[in-house]
Structure 1
Amino acid sequence: MIFITILILSFLSILFICKNIISKNLNNKKYTILICSVLFLFSFSSLIYYQIGSPFLNMKELYSLRNKILEAKVEQNKNLANDLKRFDELNLASQNDPQNINILLNLAAIASKINKVEFEIATLQKLQLIENSPKIKSLLAQAIVKKANGQVTSRAQKLIDDALADNPSEPGANFLNGLAQSQIGNDEAALKIWMQLYNNTSIDNAWKNDLETNIRIAAKKLGISQRVIDKKLINNVKITDPIANDILNLSEKEQNIRINQMVEQLANRLTKDKKDLDGWIKLFQSYKVLKNNYKALEALRTAIEISPTIFLKQTLLKELLPPNKKPNFTSETVNLIDQILLEDQNNVDALFFKGLKAFNEGDKKIATIYWKKLISILPSNSQMSIELSKKLEK
């Protein structure tokens, strides 16, 4: 209102001056004072406009925007409260069962989400003592880099190198390795690492956008035009990979033939080098892409023979008992479930399938034992916990 009043007075004063100039009714002194007053009022009103913006606001839109901000804030606080509750539950569960890998992994993940970086690092260090896998090393390196505000420290670099020595295709370790190269000025190496990782990352992966941003920054430093990078990213082709370029220039039918040939070449090589764990895992993944499930499972079984880790056994169990099909409990799946539970008595997948097998066979007593244990591990409001409770009540 003040602004509008000043604006109206300024406008009327200007009209008054113009009228009197025309009629020559004002002397020079009065004219000077009046001009200064009008200019002051006009300048003052303009200053207010500059500071607070236009007074002619749509109040309905303003209130609507305010309500949206408040709703978002309430939702954010609600999510934070749920995350903190989940953190407390997992922290308590880890104290009761300090060797449970799944609980510790989930605890580290939720600690990262609520920005408890020190706690995340401590939890991952506990995990490393239980299972010193490339994945754990990579996660620990990521947490250390996060604590250092994005700088790849010497401690993180050691973990990255160890993870890549065990598994050269570990995504998190490769991402950080590219970051480390970029930070020491080796943008060419960083770009090569990130492009290779980009090609192996699924489109719906949450961090693919971050990876693309880093690729563009590295390319810009090297003087590579954005048009060239756009083409490479759209086609999802390795910059220095002539084989990939050759394949993309073929027809779809010829591409499939060529890819199948490459996979078979890998399979033939592995028959001579049967201890190549990474090779067998790649072969499993390749056959999965080609939808050759039989050969994929055979490759995965061979990988388990080489390294019978709980992760590989759990992967095989999920492949044999997919959620979109009626479960077929064979002697192989039953043995897998028992082996997993022997190593991890609180394994969520194994407890679920153990209870499901008993439930399908009409043995509700056994199903209750395993599912009640599973329910005690799961968050009380989780969908699985609710569904299992309903089944047990029938």
Structure 2
Amino acid sequence: MLWLGFALLTLAALGFLAWPLLRTRRRAAAGRRAHDLAVYRAQLAEVEQDAARSGISAAEAAAARLEIQRRLLRADVADGPAGETAAAPSPASGRLIRIATIAVLLLVPLVGGGLYLDLGRPDAAQFDRTLARAQAEHDRQLRSQTETLIARLRERLEADPGRADGWLLLARSLLTTDQAAEAVDAAGRVIALQPDNAEAYALRGEAQTLAADGSVTPAAQQDFQKVLQLDAQHPGARYYLGLARQQAGDNRGAYDDWRALAADSPADAPWLPTITARLRELAPRLGIALADAVPAPRPAEAAQDTAPGAPGPDQAQVQAAQQMSPEERTAMIRGMVDRLAEKLKAEPDDVDGWLRLARARDVLGDHDAAREALQQAVTRQPDRVDARMALAFNLAGPTVKSRAPLPAEAVAQFKAVLEQEPNHAQALWFVGRAAYEAGDKAGAARYWKQLLAQLPPDSPEAKELSDRISSLTQ
């Protein structure tokens, strides 16, 4: 059905191109015939005038009138080029126009379609959609399982209400499933049992904010301020207090709070993209250049190395970095990342360190250096699936979401993951995709059938994947 629509659109477009060509000769013929008729009628009128003035004899007038009427009749009944004078478009010209028109109608779709089939991939747009839907179905199942676990946890807490860890887990779970009002009560039970639990105050403040449709209420602000009394660097409390300032109209205060949080955050912090977007949104309102709106974050490894002498910056260095130019801050970060690399030379079996280094290199845009770090991690611990998947995606680069075929080295890593986890969903999808790209439809069907077995039978993702597998055998 989709291709039928494309064909109809192509024909419509070609029709607009061909119509002027087909009409050109007709318009020329019609214009020539109208001109001749006008001339002959004018000549006939002149003859009548000359005869009335006795300028010519009656016999001469009759002969002239007969000849002009004969020509007028001939021009009036003529149809197209056959009836026109020698000045009209020739038959050869008409044939040339028809040949050009046919060439346009045939060559445009044939050449365009051939190039698309050779260079394009008609089905690539749906390649990753099946995996995305499978992930969505997985998320729905996870939510259902979470709700079941919440019900069981409630039962246990009714029997043993003095378990602060249970109430904290319940508060997190309720917040995850968008039950903010219930999460407020659960976090309150934790605070009643443990008045100095910073995480409980943070959870209750966040739940109060979500229950108020994103508005940081005074009660939520009190909870976040209490969090900072217990943990001055808590990122969630710092973010929400900045949001409260913005909601109160204090854009400058919000910007300063968020900029300080960004400067204190490691480069791989999950909240950093949100903070960055907020800073870029406020900067134009405050007359701050976008190039200076976001401070350089700490490298990813700095959050992990907190012992004395570790390569991460101390508070004095962080404050000094805020006074640096963007180039100077980048140089400082590179220096710390390089120190982590030197540390790993002395401790090469630190796989987590290699993964941190890879993330930091990626943040700096050094994807080749990140690949080298990932290869070190995989070499040191070959059974580390997360390291192999990270290396596979690094090797694949933009082909993961484009129509270009996956690189062979990335496919090799996906296959290595399947050797360790034969039912790894992402690896099954990409190895199947690679087989399809190589023309191995049987191989693609085999991997995708294995993936299909993991999907709920009645889910839309299962149906789409099943249809795709069926198309491979046609």
Return the TM-score normalized by structure 2: 0.40
Higher relative contact order (CA 8 A, sep 6+): 2
- Larger Rg over CA atoms: 2
